[in-house]
Amino acid sequence: MNEAKRQLLSSNGSMKEIAFYLGFDNIAHFSKYFKTKTGINFTSFRNGAVG
């Protein structure tokens, strides 16, 4: 999860690109995993982290 956050904050990669980079074949699974582990969805994390 730390690498997912690092990729999210340091790149402009899409959720799909980051999910595949981290070895997830299913974007929906990555999205659910991300939300379960962080308590916030991918887009909200990115928007809050950037804004």
Would the pLDDT of 51 be above 70? no
For residue range 2-50, what is the model confidence (pLDDT) as tens digits?
Answer: 899 888 888 888 999 999 999 999 999 999 999 999 999 998 988 885 4
The predicted pLDDT at position 20 comes to: 95
DSSP string, 10-51: H----HHHHHHHTT-S-HHHHHHHHHHHHSS-HHHHHHHHH-
The predicted pLDDT at position 49 comes to: 58
